């Protein structure tokens, strides 16, 4: 197969480029959100790059010869037959940029490819600058734990928190471009490819820094040590619903760009349904159609406000880590006898949802010597099949540590079984590479 050295491809758009006919590759939500494409009928209303397409192209054959936002959609080859002088502008998310370029460079001349944001080719990470997550006193960009912003705490004025996060990430990206040592150095999530110089935020995670954070579990493996601190009312001045509202109302003034086609606000750590302002939080999120709510819950409590959200908000989703397939192992991992109740609640939530195939993601975190056995794995698979929900795998291994061969084999077994059942599964993004590194 023909391969292209991606480092030789220049994706950045010059002013002259913008005068040429432009074929937009990717007729989907990203294009719609970034180019304000309502049925423009060829008028082309465009983001800050001030460009407009002559047509769209897409890989998906079902879209060929349809009309998208007023523009005809072709295969990329056909689009270039109609417009031989055109450049192909990639209208896709940053996180898939490298794979899209790789795919297209085997079909069209790589000199024709462009991206409407400034890019660099080199080491980078899809989480960097796209994630804002609060954890205890700190801001982290990811659950990578390697990336804690040392310059700011949650007790700073809120404008400073948001700006510091943005500036810090931009400074790290500059160092990645020049190859200097930086806060992400050594992280296994760094990968070579195309990355944007100024990424947009698409994940806003609220952790355990908020008034009333609590949990009804006492998992021996709970990694959220900050939970105990927050029980001392250390964060009493910060109310989760006010924090996200302030961010939403002020992000434009602060110059923070958001990916409106995919903006997830997650609430996690502790049992969020116990937060005193949980309902206010959901009311605010549900009033913004751009926001997709993600609840990280142990699902031991059936929350009416969350059930209503599932019923009315097509983008709502919950991630529930059960990490077991038997009552005994669940008790070992979670410290409580509550497995059956959790499963009942999941069935109830699913029956309420307007988007039942999407609303639940079930998580299995592998722990060495605890749940790395066929009893639990098969029990978990049975639950996933019954719920017909998506599945996420994870491990408590991070950095350059390796998972055991037993875990790797069970992970592959689970993946195959789920594939056979046509159930979507994926490793947790922050731990994906851990599954590539098994012990000898």
Q: Which residues bind ligand SF4 (CB under 6 A)?
A: 125, 127-128, 141-142, 144, 146-147, 184, 187, 189-190, 215, 217-219, 222, 224, 227, 269-271, 298, 430
Query: In whole angstroms, how close is the CB of 2 to ligand SF4 at the nearest point?
Result: 31
Give DSSP secondary structure letters for 27-77.
Answer: -SHHHHHHTT-SS-TT-----TT----SEEE-S-GGGTT-EETTEEEE-HH
Query: In whole angstroms, how close is the CB of 417 to ligand SF4 at the nearest point?
Result: 26
Interatomic CA distance for residues 304 and 262, integer angstroms? 26
Strand 191-196 relative to strand 203-206: parallel, antiparallel, unpaired?
unpaired
Furthest C-alpha separation in the chain: 66
Closer residue to ligand SF4 (CB): 215 or 389: 215
Helix ranges, 287-326 (H): 304-312
Strand 87-90 relative to strand 131-135: parallel, antiparallel, unpaired?
unpaired
Interatomic CA distance for residues 119 and 94, integer angstroms? 10
Closer residue to ligand SF4 (CB): 52 or 142: 142
Query: In whole angstroms, how close is the CB of 169 to ligand SF4 at the nearest point?
Result: 8
Query: In whole angstroms, how close is the CB of 123 to ligand SF4 at the nearest point?
Result: 9
Interatomic CA distance for residues 271 and 139, integer angstroms? 20
Closer residue to ligand SF4 (CB): 53 or 136: 136
Query: In whole angstroms, how close is the CB of 360 to ligand SF4 at the nearest point?
Result: 16
Q: What is the dihedral of CA 100, 101, 102, 108, to 10 degrees?
A: 110
Query: In whole angstroms, how close is the CB of 3 to ligand SF4 at the nearest point?
Result: 26
Closer residue to ligand SF4 (CB): 284 or 330: 330
Closer residue to ligand SF4 (CB): 113 or 141: 141
Interatomic CA distance for residues 188 and 180, integer angstroms? 17
Closer residue to ligand SF4 (CB): 37 or 338: 338
């Amino acid at each position: 197969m023909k391969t292209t050295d991606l480092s030789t491809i220049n994706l950045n758009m010059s002013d002259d480029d913008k005068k040429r006919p432009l074929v937009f590759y990717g007729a989907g939500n990203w294009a719609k959100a970034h180019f304000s494409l309502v049925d423009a009928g060829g008028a082309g209303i465009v983001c800050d790059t001030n460009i407009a397409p002559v047509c769209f192209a897409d890989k998906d054959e079902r879209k060929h010869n349809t009309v998208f936002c007023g523009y005809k959609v072709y295969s990329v080859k056909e689009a270039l037959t109609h417009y031989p002088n055109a450049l192909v502008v990639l209208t896709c998310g940053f996180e898939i940029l490298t794979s899209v370029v790789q795919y297209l460079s085997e079909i069209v001349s790589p000199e024709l490819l462009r991206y409407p944001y400034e890019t660099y080719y080199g080491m980078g990470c899809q989480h960097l600058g796209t994630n804002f997550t609060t954890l205890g006193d700190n801001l982290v960009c990811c659950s990578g734990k390697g990336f804690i912003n040392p310059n700011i705490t949650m007790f700073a004025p809120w404008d400073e928190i948001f700006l510091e996060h943005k500036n810090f990430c931009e400074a790290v990206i500059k160092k990645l471009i020049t190859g200097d040592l930086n806060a992400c150095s050594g992280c296994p999530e760094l990968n070579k490819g195309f990355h944007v110089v100024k990424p947009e935020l698409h994940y806003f995670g609220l952790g355990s820094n908020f008034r009333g954070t609590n949990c009804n579990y006492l998992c021996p493996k709970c990694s959220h040590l900050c939970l105990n601190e927050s029980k001392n009312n250390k964060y009493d001045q910060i109310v989760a619903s006010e924090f996200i509202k302030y961010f939403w109302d002020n992000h434009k003034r602060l110059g923070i760009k958001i990916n409106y086609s995919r903006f997830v606000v997650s609430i996690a750590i502790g049992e969020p349904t116990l937060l005193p302002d949980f309902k206010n939080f959901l009311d605010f999120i549900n009033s913004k159609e751009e926001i997709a709510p993600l609840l990280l819950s142990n699902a031991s409590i059936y929350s009416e406000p969350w059930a209503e959200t599932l019923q009315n908000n097509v983008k709502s989703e919950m991630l529930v880590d059960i990490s077991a397939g038997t009552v005994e192992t669940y008790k070992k991992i979670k410290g409580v006898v509550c497995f059956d109740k959790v499963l009942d609640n999941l069935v109830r939530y699913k029956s309420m949802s307007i988007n039942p195939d999407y609303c639940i993601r079930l998580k299995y975190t592998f722990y060495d010597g605890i749940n790395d056995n066929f009893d639990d794995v098969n029990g978990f698979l049975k639950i996933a099949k019954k719920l017909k929900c998506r599945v996420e795998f994870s491990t408590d291994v991070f950095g350059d540590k390796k998972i055991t061969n037993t875990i790797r084999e069970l992970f592959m077994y689970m993946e195959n079984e789920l594939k056979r059942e046509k159930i979507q599964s994926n490793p947790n993004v922050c731990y994906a590479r851990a599954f590539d590194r098994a012990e000898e």
